[in-house]
Structures are given as C-alpha cells and as structure tokens.
Amino acid sequence: MATIDMEVSQFQVDETDFCDSVLSRFSNSIQEEHQHLCTVLGAMSQELKEQNLPTTPITYFCTTCSSIDRLSSDPESPTHIIDSLLTILSMVLPRISPVILKKKREYLSELVVRVFRSKSPPAASGLKCISHLLMIRESDNWSDVSQLYGLLLSFMTDPHSKVRRQSHVCIHDALQTFQGSSALAPASEGIVNTFERYLLLAGGSSAAASESPKGAQEVLYILDALKECLPLMSMKSITTVLKYLKTLLELHQPLVSRRIMDSLNVLCLDPTSEVSPEVLLELLCSLALSVSGNERIVDDITFTTRLLDVGMRKVHSLDRKICIVKLPAIFNALGDVLACEHEEALHAATEALKSLIHACIDLNLIKQGVNQIMTNADMETRRSRPTIIEKLCATIESLLDYRFSTVWDMSFQVISTMFNKLGENSSYLLMGTVKGLADLQKLPDEDLIYRKQLHECIGSALVAMGPEIFLSIVPLKLEVEDLSEANVWILPILKQYTVGAHLSFFRESILNMVQLMKQKSRMLYLEGRIVSSRSYDALVYSLWSLLPSFCNYPLDTAESFKDMEKALCTALREEANLCGIICSSLQILIQQNKGILEQNIDLNGSDNSISRQRAMARYTPQVAGDNLTVLKSSAREFLSVLSGKFLKSAQDGGCLQSTIHELASVADKEIVTRFFRNTMQKLLKVTQEAGNAETSRNSNTMELDNSSNGSLAVVRSQLFDLAVSLLPGLDAKEIDLLFVAIKPALRDDEGLIQKKAYKVLSIILRNCDTFLSARFEELLKLMIEVLPSCHFSAKHHRLECLYSLIVHASKCESEKRCDIISSFLTEIILALKEANKKTRNRAYDMLVQIGHACGDEEKGGKKENLHQFFNMVAAGLAGETPHMISAAVKGLARLAYEFSDLVSTTYNLLPSTFLLLKRKNREIAKANLGLLKVLVAKSQTEGLQMHLRSMVEGLLNWQDSTKNQFKAKVKLLLEMLVKKCGMDAVKAVMPEEHMKLLTNIRKIKERKERNLAANSEESRSQQSKATTSRLSRWNHTKIFSSFGAEDSEDSDAEYTDGKTLSGQQSKATLHFNSKASSSRMHKAAKSLPEDLFDQLEDEPLDLLDQHKTRSALRSTGGGHHLKRKHGLEDEPEIDSEGRLIIREGGGGGGKPRREVSSSNPESEDVRSQAGSSHKSINSSIEKNGKRRKTSDSGWAYTGGEYASKKAAGDVKRKDKLEPYAYWPLDRKMMSRRPEHRAAARKGMASVVRLTKKLEGKSVSSALSSKALRFKRVQKKSSKKKSK
C-alpha cells in the first residue's frame, strides 16, 4: 500500500462493506473463478481487519492495486490470483470517487497495461478496468487514450469468446463516451483499419480447400462487433464500412449476410446515427434484388423484408429525393415476398408495405402523379414516362393478380392503406384497382374465401373517393332488366362506409334511382309479376336506407338540405315504412352539429375511424352554426308533418317523439310555442270529451261500450307525449302550463293517463332545474296528496319523480333532507315488493343512489349520513305487516351489498333477524335468508368468524320448523359458511344434534371434488371457465328466491368479489339461469314473473372455450334443421298479392310429392310419408300394434332387416353390417347438470344389464320387449299419481 499515497478523508466515498456485498453474490457459485474470487477477497478482508483498517471501497482499491503491482512483476505468480484481483479492481472502480481516479489514472493505466502484456490469456475483468479508465479521461486528446483504446481493439478478435464479447461491450462504451469529441474519428478509424486488415488477409490467403481461409473467422468476429459499434462511429467510417459490407453481401454466405443485416438493422433503428444516404440506399437496393431468391431460407427473407422497411424510412428521413426514386424497386421486391408461401415473411412484407406507404408517400409525390395524369388526359397517346407514384400504384394493383389469390386478405390490407393515404386522389391513381376489386366480387365463394376482407377494402376505397366518384367508376346498374346483373352488393357497403358525403348527390342521384325503381315496380305489378315487383320495392327501401349514412357529417348541409325538405316531408306523409329512416337521419344531423357547436364531441376519440375524423375535421363551429340555421328554417315543416303522423300512428312512436324533441331544441321559440299551444288546446278538448263521456256513463245504469272512452285515453296519452317532446323549446311559462295540465291527470282513474302524467312530470323534473327549484315545496306536497290514488302501472314513473326530488333535497340542510327522505322512504321500500319488474329495479336503484348521495364525500356526503339513512331503512323492521317487514329487510340487504361500510352495521341486526325467522311467516323468512346470504357473501372471513356461532345457532334452531320449506336454503347458507370459514371453524360451533348435516355437506363437497378431478378436460372447462369469468351483479330474484335447489351449485360465486352495478345498469342485473327442471316448474308459477325466465334460459355461453362451444353445437341438435326435406324442391305457389300458398295434405296445384322408397316392407309402416296426413300415420301405428319413436327424418331403427323367419335370433345379410342393438344417444349426456348426466349413464348401463336376459333374441324382438317394459313402467307410475 506504500505505492499509493491518498488522503482518504478528503473525498466522499461509499462506506458500505464491499466484501460482504461481493461474497453474498458469489459465495454460493460452483464456478472455479468465483470460488477463487471469494478466497482472495476473504483473505484481503481478513488482513485489513487485522491491521485495523476501514473496510471501505477505497481501502480495497488501494490494497488491490498494491497486490497487482507486486504480483505483475513476478513471472511465477499464480494466474488465478491475478484474475481475481483484476475482477476485484473492476468491481471496486465504480465505487471510487472520479476525483481520485483521475488523479491516479496514469498509474492505473500503466498497471493494467503491464498486466495484459505479462499475462496470457487475458482476463475479461481487465477489459472492464480499461473501459472505466477511458470513461474518466480528463481531456479529449487522442494521445491520452490511444494506448488503452488500442488495447481494447487488440482483443476484438480474441479466440476466447468471453474476452471477445467483453471487448465488444467495452468498445461500445468507449465510443459512447467519445460522442461529440475529437477522439471519435480516430477511434472509428481504428475499427475500420482492423476490419480492412482482416479483409485483406481473408481475401489474399491461399488456404487449402478443406481449411477456412486465414482471417475469415476474424472478419466474422469484427462483424459481431459492428452490431454494437456501427451506429456510434463517425459518418466517414460508417460510409467506409458500408461499402465493405456491400461487397461481402455479394458472397451470399448466410453467416456473413445475417451479421451484416443485424448491423444494418441496428444502424437504421438508431435515430442519432449519421450515415450517407446514398451508400445506405445502394446497399438496400442490393438486398432488394436478392430478397426474392428462392434459395434463401425463410428467416433471411423475413429479416431482409423488415430491414428494407426500417432502412428505407431511415433513408427517407435523411434524403427524400433519392429515396423516392428507388421506392418502386423496393415495392416490387416486397411484392415478390408477398407471393411466397411463408407465413412469417408474408406478414413482414405486408407490414413493410403499409409502413412505407405511410412514411414515404407524401402530398408532393401524389400531386406530381395527379398533375401528370390530368395533363395526359387531353392527349390521344401518352408521351411522358409514368411517375413514381404511378409505378407504386401499379405495383399495388398487381397484388390483385391470381398469383396472390392465397394471400388476398393481406393484399386487401395493403390496398386499403394506399386508399387511405391517397384520399380523394385515389380516383386518378387507383381507378383500375377499384375496377379490379369489383371484378373479384363476381367470383364464386369457392374461389374467393376472403369476401369480407374484400368488402372492407372496397369500403376503404369508398371512404377515400367518396360515393359520387366511386359510383361513377363502379355504377349500381339498377336500370338493367335482369337484377342479377346489377351491382346490388354495393348498397350494404355504401350504408356502412359512407361518411362526409354530399346531400346533393343523394338528392340528385339516389332519389332519381328511387323514382326509377318505383316506376319499374308499378309496371311489374300491373303485369302480374308480383315477386319481381316486390324485389324492386326492396331496392327502393335499400336506397332510402342510405340516407342516415349521407347525413353522417355531410359536406353541404347548409347548401343542399333545404332542397331535400320537400322530398323528405312527402316521404314521411306517403310511405310509413320510411319514417324510421328519415327520423334517424334528422336526429343524426341535429345531434352532430349541436355537438360540434357545444364542443361535446371528441374529434380524436378512439371510437372514431379515420374517415370519420377527416369529416369531423371539416366541421368548425362556424360550419355547424350555418347547418343549424338551415335546419332551424326547416323545423316548422318537419314539426307539422311529424306531429300529425305521431297522432295518427301508434307505430314508430318512440322514433317520432325523439325526432320532435331534437327539432324543438333547434327551432324558433315562437314556432315551438305555437305547436305547444295547439297541442294543449287539443288536449283540453279531448279531456273535456273524456269527462263528458265519464259523466254520461255514470248517469246511465246500463252497461255501455267503453271503446270510445279507451280511444280518448289513447289520444290524451299521445298528446301528453307530444307536449313533453317540445320541452327543449319551451319557456318557463309554457312549462308551468304543462304542469297545470298534468296535475289533475295524476288523480285520473284511467291508469294509462296517470302513467303518462307521471312520465311527463319525471321528464320535466329531470331536465328543468329552474322549475324544480321554484316549485319544490309544491311538488313535495303534490306527491303526498296524489299517493292514495296512484295506479300500479304508474309506480315506476312516480319513483322517477321522487328520485329527482330527493336528489334536489340532498342539497338542502341536514334536518330538512332527513324529513324529506323519511316522508317518501316508506313508499320506496314498499316498491321493492311490487309485481312490476321495472318498478322493483328502480326502487332498488333509488336506495343505492340515495345512499351514494348521502355517503360519497365527492358529492358532499358523509359516512354519518349513510349510516343515518341505513337506520331509517332499518326502522321498517318495526312494521306491523309482514309485507312491510320483508320489504325493509330487502332494502337493508341491497344497501349492505352495495356499501361495504354497512356490513359491520348489519351484523347488529342479526338478533332481530333470527327473531323474525321464528315468526313462521314465509314472506319474512325468505327476505331474512336473503339478507343472511348477502352478509355471508360480502363479509371478510375475519369478520364472519366473529359472528359464526350466532349465525349457525340461529339458522339451525329455526330450521326445525316444519311449516316453512326452507331447509335447502339453510343448507346452502351452511355450505357458504364452510367455503368462507372452513370446515373446522363451522364444526367447532355446530350443535351436536346437527352434526349429521355437516357430515352430509362434507361428503357432498368431497364428492364434487372427486368428480371434478376425474372429469375430462372438456368437462372441467364446462364447469369452471364460463362460470368464473362472469361478473357478480345484484340479482334480487336469485338472492330472495324461495327455492333451494337452484342455489346448490356455485352458491356464492355470483355474490362475492364481483363488480356491483347500480343506476341505469340495473336492467342488466337479472341473469338467466340454466338450472331448470320439471320438479321446479310447478313452483315457478307461484314465484315472480322473471323467475320463470331465470329457470328456462341457459347460462351465457363462453365462446372462447372451444370444448364448450362444440358441446353446445352438438347438444342443440341444430343439424336437422339444415336437412332438406323431400318435396321441398318444387316451385313455390304464390297468389296475386305475392303471398306464399301452403297446401295442406299434399293437395293443391303443386307437383305430387315423391314418397320415400324402402326395400324393407316392415319399415314402410313406420316411415312417415311427406304427403300423408296425421290420420294415416296414427292408423299405421295402430296397425303395427305398438308406437315407435320416430326422429325428425321420419323413421326409427327397428332391426327388422336382420330378422329370420326360421329362427329366433338374427342372421347376417349380404352387404350389411353384422346384427347390432341400437340405443339412441341421449342429449342429457352433454348436460352440465350432474343429475342429468347420471340419468343418461344409468340408461346406458341398463343396456349392459339386459344383455344376458336378451341373449338369443333378435334385435327386433329385443327392442319390442324393451318398449313393452317401458310402457308397463309408465302405467304403474300413472296409477300411483292417480291414487
């Protein structure tokens, strides 16, 4: 240590124990060099401790340098010790202050160089020391670093892979530090000189044929180094290297070519690298010429394709002009790759073409080609050569050739990208491509398997050109006599992809086609060709259905919409089937322009396509304002037509009402007010007529016809809907008038009128905050007064009104808010028991929304308010009627399910819950068991174990009651507790007399686990994948169901660890259940309406599960629907109105149906003929003596063809199978339910058991005896039921 004199205290060093960190890393290694390292470091640490020196990195640094200095002068020093010391030095250098290292850099450099000169082979760790010394240099003078850098270069071709690899990394780090300094150029030249030396050596050697030339391996080593270093070298050196690489590529040696492409790929991907674009482009062109060679392997083709992509983008960023000149050659090469048969290369070529289209084709290039085409358009013969963009488009068009037929789906992707890039200019440059796509549409399905991708490609062409230019290139040809020659297939594409079109084109072209089709339809109808006439009527509707697409951000709304007003109003008056199309078009126009003006539309949204974004970009607030002005001027006429149609027709009422609402939002206030007053006058008149009719009906004691009174009620309801549709254009005065009109309707005896009145009031309260604030007290009083007369059908809309009032009340003071909520809370709770599903769902949602308004701090609520609201609901437990008590329990369960903070509070109600269970009331018991189910499902295991004893004892004590049939439900709750808390925890609190029940639960659980383990992969996927992927949502029908069997499987899977949905999503909360059985269908009649659907429908099918999907397809038995029946090949008979005539009994003017021929006489009695009547079928069955099951094909297997007339058994027949017994497959074998599968297996087992009993009998007699036995069983069971 005397050779290094340092003042340690002057510098800030790392005080951590260096030895411990190294030993902890390498002490467990079995490699010899690591063991030597630990030994040397341990000895060094022990020596430092004996000399009482600090174990800091700088101490280890000084000790290591002294040891290396001493051992390097001794030629007999062990090599492994020097290697270990160099490793220690490389690890300790980063921990030393740069100030110290710069001060002793000269000493360290001399020391390391001396070690490398005296030691062979060198250590890789020594190279790390050199790299670190190069990074802490004091100046950029090349003379200061040349010695160390030259030492690194000398190991670039070292035969030891570890040393060579480390030298490459160190050279990379050194070049990284040389960036921006004068040392970069000589450092790069050093690599080039080394490369040149070995290239000359490899090229000038005359080695034997069996030996590799001298220097060849070293060239490969340098190419490996260039992958790391080439992007960091100077531009001059990179250019020189690229020239050598081009020469090496001409050798077509795979090992050399792959290394060169790796280096080029790294160079092109580095955005900071400086390279000559000319040299790089020349190199890429040579690669492009060789990429289509068949002798190359797939990986080389794929890698070269990707290199062409990144390389051309690199050249384009450096020099656009020289890049676009060579772009056609690159496109041709990539097209050749696209024609190969290798999947990975195909995808690489597709992505490369798409990438180059986006990056290298710009507006100037496109304009150059378009101008050239327009210039040559006036000349008879073209004199100029095609432009670059024309060459590129010709290459793209060639992708539709038949040699690309197997990869047309990828060709369509490239063509679509080009259409999107060229935009409107596609009509000049890709006209032939559009015609080629239209020709492909004519191919049959067996020759074109990518028809969907073709339509998407045509859609991109339509978006780029616009429907006007597209239809000029590929016309519809609807004027032809034979519609099969028309391009009707374009209509769905026009409907899907048209955005940003011109309304003038629709008015001038599409509507003219509509008139032409109407004339042809009328002419064909007069000629008696009804079917053809209906075909043209369908074309008329298809053409009109394009209107919403043309109204999707049109470019000329302000100029052309007024011209379409008359045609649209005429169609609304005369053609009822077009009402929905025109209404939706008007709504699109108004909503889009309002959204732009109010800035409510995200122009760059993820849901917007490229075409939609382009069209929206043209819509400025000024354009939207001009469009709304035109729509405003036409609103009067449309309101008149739509209002009259709304009052006359009950169909499309919702669409008409929505359109009137949108028009009222943009129309003049005076016009809307005039329509509103006319509507109110009509309403007053109809109301008076209804009142007079009611008075006369009451005064007359005779029974009168109520049809007129019902029609007046319908008219009044329509007038209410029409009036509220005008709400956006009404002032406060008109809203007050509407409120005055609906106040008496809230007390009307007619349920329809009362329902409409509440609906109108709910809309007003939801949309008019000013009205709600001004009449808040009056509304509260009104809601209380009209409650006794509320019709059950109006409860849903009444709850909507109450919700608006309560939300407004939540902004009031605490005491007033509580008074308002408590005044309506009883009604909301009782609504949880309503028969109407919408009313129940809305009541549940209201409880949740009120809870959020009280408890969410973001909305100004507090946790205390939430608990206070919960206690207000819990007060309903003190109700006098079971109806009120059960409703309160359901409300508590819903709140506990939604708010996890209320679960612990709900446990305080457990004593009351168990007391209510003892009241022996079925309604209360069902609700309380649902509450317990929610508690078990939503509670954490720790909290549940605290109340486990009380829950188990309460459930089991009540279970002894014989009046209530809830034992299965209690068993289900116990199973849920076992799943949550474990079998041991439940067993510890289980009463001794009920241990058998727990044992039964344990055995059932073990049996399920065994069956699951024994199931096949398909069965496991059916039982697990689909069920575990579903979200857990609130389902009050399932939670409070009185059934027990339907919850036996996956009991708490639908209530735990899931996402709770509330609010408007409540409609989706009712899951359909597949667990229906005949034993529960009788009970379902007594339950809620949706319970029946829960049991009838199947569970959601997981389409991602292949096994499950296949099983579902097999179990549906849908194949027989696709079979063609005998006799259906005849021409259909149609009457004068175009209706299909069906002749019963096989009679009529149709051709006689062919009978099924059979070689077996016995089977003729069993087969049902296509044209026979039910009477003949029954008689044939009676004649045969027994009824046989027949399949959909009309016959069943009987085994009669093997019967023998001389013996009791079967005989073999020529050209037939050996005699066999047939058992029809049972679809229950594919069922999810274990009991169904067990029943099916039991049936199959009976075949085996009957084998010995039926031995010696024929198949026919065996089947007949089995049928007789089945009949006896049926008779016995029917006798038992009758008793």
With bands split at pLDDT 50, 70 and 90, how would you rate the model's confidence at 387?
very high
Question: Please, where are the H alpha helices in 649-727?
Answer: 653-666, 669-699, 707-725
Helix or strand holding residue 220 (H, E): helix 216-229
- H helix count then E strand count, the chain: 62, 2
Find out whether 672 and 729 touch, Cβ atoms under 8 Å.
yes
- Dihedral sign for Cα 1001, 1005, 1011, 1014, please: negative
Highest mean pLDDT among 58-72, 409-423, 960-974, 1169-1183: 409-423
**How confident is residue 695, by pLDDT bands cut at 50, 70 and 90?**
confident
CA 1131/CA 1150 separation, integer angstroms: 8
Structure tokens at 233: 């070298």
Neighbours of 332 (CB within 10 A): 17
User: pTM value?
Assistant: 0.71
Residue in this structure with the two tokens 């979200």, named with its chain if needed: 1031
Cα distance between residue 1263 and residue 1199, in whole Å = 8
Structure token pair of residue 670: 């005076």
Which of the 8 DSSP states describes residue 244?
Answer: H
Query: Percent of the chain beyond pLDDT 70?
Result: 73
Q: Give the H or E element holding residue 363.
A: helix 363-376
For residue 65, the surrounding DSSP H or E stretch is helix 57-72
Check the CA dihedral 676-682-685-690 and report its sign.
negative
Q: Give the span between the Cα atoms of 430 and 434, in whole angstroms.
A: 6
- Joined together, the tokens standing for residue 65 give 């340098």
- Contact by Cβ (8 Å): 693, 708: yes
DSSP letter assigned to residue 1125: P
Residue 96 DSSP code: S
DSSP 382: -
Cα gap 481→795, rounded to integer Å: 59
pLDDT of 16-37, one tens digit each?
577 877 887 887 888 887 888 8
Is residue 476 pLDDT above 80, yes or no? yes
Contact between 491 and 453 under an 8 Å Cβ cutoff? The reply is no
Residues 400-428 have pLDDT tens digits of 999 899 999 999 999 999 999 999 999 99
Quickly state the pLDDT bin for 1247 (edges 50, 70, 90). Answer: low
pLDDT of residue 1078 exceeding 60, the answer is no
pLDDT recorded at residue 106: 83
Residues in the chain, how many? 1283
Nearest of 1002, 930, 925, 934 to residue 966 by alpha carbon: 925
Is the C-alpha dihedral spanning 1079, 1081, 1086, 1089 positive or negative? positive
Q: What is the DSSP string of 966-994?
A: -HHHHHHHHHHHHHHH-HHHHHHHS-GGG
1084 burial class (0-12, 13-18, 19+ CB within 10 angstroms)?
middle
Crossing angle for the helix pair 621-648 and 653-666, nearest 10 degrees?
140
Alpha-carbon Rg for the chain in angstroms: 44
Q: Could you give the count of Cα atoms lying within 13 Å of 59 in the half-sphere of its Cβ?
A: 20
Most confident of the ranges 583-592, 769-778, 904-913: 583-592
The span from the CA of 798 to the CA of 805, in Å, is 11
Strands 1140-1141 and 1133-1134: antiparallel
**How far is the C-alpha of 390 from the C-alpha of 371, rounded, in Å?**
11
In this predicted structure, the answer to whether residue 1165 has a pLDDT above a threshold of 80 is no
User: How many CB atoms sit inside 10 A of residue 70's CB?
Assistant: 12
Whether the per-residue pLDDT at 938 is higher than 90: the answer is no
Tell me: pLDDT of 1172 over 60: no
Give per-residue pLDDT as tens, 220-267.
Answer: 999 999 998 999 999 999 999 999 999 998 888 888 888 999 999 999
Query: What b/e string do you get for 1059-1078 counting C-beta neighbours within 10 Å, with b at 16 or more?
Result: ebbbeeebeebbbebebbee
The answer on pLDDT for 1062 being more than 50 is no
**Which residue in 758, 759, 752, 626 sits closest to 690, CA to CA?**
752
pLDDT value at 577 more than 80: yes
Contact 851, 898 (CB under 8 A): yes
- Helix H, strand E, coil C: the string for 719-774 is HHHHHHHCHHHCCHHHHHHHHHHHHHHCCCCCHHHHHHHHHHHHHHHHHCHHHHHH
What 3-state class would DSSP assign to 669? helix
d(CA 88, CA 33): 12
pLDDT the model gives residue 723: 92
Average pLDDT of the residues in 274-284: 92
pLDDT at 133 over 70: yes
Which two structure tokens, joined as six digits, stand for 261? 């492409």
